[in-house]
Amino acid sequence: MKLVGKYINKDGSGHVSLRPEDDEDMWHLYNLIQEGDKVRATAIRRVQNVSSTGSTDSHRVRTNLTLEVTRVEFTPAITSSTADTTNAASTTAADVTASIQISGRVTVENPHAKMGAHHTLDIEVNRDVRIEKEQWDSVALNRVEEACVPGRGAEVAAVVCGEGTAAFVLLSEHLTTIRHRLTSSIPRKSSSSTLHEKGLNRYYQQLYAAFLRHIPYGSPTIKVLVFASPGWIRDSVYDYILKESERTGNKALMRAVREKGVRIHVSSPHVHSLVEVLKSPEITAQLKETKFAKEGITLDRFFKMLGSDEMRAWYGPDHVALAIDRGAVGTLLISDQLFRASDPAERKKYVGLVEAVKDKGGEVVIFSSMHESGQQLNQLTGIAAILTFPLDVEVVEQEEREAKEAEEEERRKAEVAGEDS
């Protein structure tokens, strides 16, 4: 993401102009733009001109529109997929990048759009977007800063294999992007060993060609190339890619696979098994500083704590807020989905929880709901905490009730004393 311009007043109001450069930048924009914000971007409007003779000429014009946002939608990248059957040609669908649609009313007069008219902006990569807010909170400003760090990119490339299937995946700080899916029919070994060998060889050839097209193995940002599967397939795929790279003289691929390649066992040949990959010792040692690996490790810590000492593992907005109030939270786990709340008061509540934990010296890990770990956290209400000391939730709730009752009693006494005087 490129920061084009930024002006924030002392009261927190102001605007930021950004230029998204890839799918991850589009995800950042989606998380930054809220209902009620004013967004200015390029739009295409259909304009009709009526001539003196009464004929109508309709044409499209490109203009800049400013909308007060009423709805924001994010559409993830659509990846290519290849399906193969024994007697049919393969079919391939083209890649489509991520997109954002912003609906709202026009707030700045424009020769091609009336004030108050409804419009939808289609946000595109490499086109400037200006976001104006009445209040830029700390979470939004931190996201802008994080998104504009130069040199970001996918850090893990993975091939998750099954017998006759493969998913080619890139993991960056906030996105899990499935670049390609491959399905190839492999006859059973019992029916005919020759047909089985031919089917297996065809599968390897298709996988190798897809690897070259969809995995940026030469990128300096890629730290690890993961080959994962439940059984023996990962070893065969790894060996085949090495052998083919040597046969074709592809030295860059050969070097990348040997230096960055890691073979890992997973429980299923599906993309969600990458959570297991990120928790494996081979990966955590190399990726301990990356955001998505930290998310996986932190969530794993929470679940282990929940199993061994549940009084130090709390989840749910109300319970976590109580633990924060007691100064007991060592690590706060919170999903970015909660900051997309349409109610500004609700978003403000979660921002306040984040700031309270940081003020008390705690750690905050904001999970991306586009990673598997973030989706798991969302199933657990989207917010959880690892406590520095055990608290019994029932005892704490009882103490809170008693404190409120005592406060209410004091208020009533003060009112009676005021009336008597």
Residues 309 and 273 in one domain: no
Q: Is residue 103 part of a domain?
A: yes
Q: Is residue 413 part of a domain?
A: no
- Find the mean pLDDT for residues 69-91: 65
- Out of 219, 252, 287, pick the residue that ends a domain: 287
Q: Is residue 404 part of a domain?
A: no
pLDDT digits (tens, 9 = 90+) for 17-34: 999 988 889 999 999 999
- As beta bridge partners, residue 70 has none
pLDDT digits (tens, 9 = 90+) for 152-190: 677 889 999 988 899 999 988 888 888 899 998 887 776
* Beta strands 88-92; 80-85: pairing state: antiparallel
CATH number at residue 161: 3.30.420.60
Residues 169 and 297 in one domain: no
Residues 282 and 313 in one domain: no
Distance (Å) of CA 233 to CA 152, 164, 264, 274 = 31, 9, 11, 16
Q: By residue range, what is the domain housing residue 195?
A: 156-287
Q: Is residue 418 part of a domain?
A: no
| pLDDT band (50, 70, 90) for residue 414 | confident
pLDDT of residue 419: 67
Residues 226 and 135 in one domain: no
pLDDT of residue 33: 94
Structural domains of the chain, count: 3
CATH number at residue 18: 2.30.30.870
pLDDT at 399 over 70: yes
Residues 104 and 37 in one domain: yes
Q: Is residue 116 part of a domain?
A: yes
Q: Is residue 89 part of a domain?
A: no
- Out of 260, 287, 314, pick the residue that ends a domain: 287
Residues 263 and 330 in one domain: no
CATH number at residue 360: 3.30.1330.30
Residue pair 14/136 in contact by the 8 Å Cβ criterion:
yes
pLDDT of residue 72: 93
- Out of 147, 179, 208, pick the residue that ends a domain: 147
Which of these ranges, 44-53, 83-92, 260-269, has the smallest mean pLDDT?
Answer: 83-92
Residues 272 and 324 in one domain: no
Q: Is residue 419 part of a domain?
A: no
pLDDT digits (tens, 9 = 90+) for 44-66: 777 666 666 666 766 777 888 99
| pLDDT band (50, 70, 90) for residue 87 | very low
Residues 216 and 235 in one domain: yes
pLDDT digits (tens, 9 = 90+) for 237-248: 999 999 999 999
pLDDT of residue 82: 62
Residues 281 and 299 in one domain: no
Quote the pTM value.
Answer: 0.77
- Edge-to-edge strand list for the sheet holding 261-265: 88-92, 80-85, 176-184, 165-171, 156-162, 224-229, 261-265
pLDDT at 368 over 60: yes
Residues 6 and 102 in one domain: yes
| pLDDT band (50, 70, 90) for residue 86 | very low
What is the distance between the alpha carbons of residues 224 and 211, in angstroms, rounded to a whole number?
14
Residues 176 and 276 in one domain: yes
Residues 60 and 183 in one domain: no
pLDDT of residue 219: 85
- Find the mean pLDDT for residues 77-86: 58
- Find the mean pLDDT for residues 378-404: 86
Q: Is residue 395 part of a domain?
A: no
Collapsing DSSP to helix, strand or coil, 168 comes out as: strand
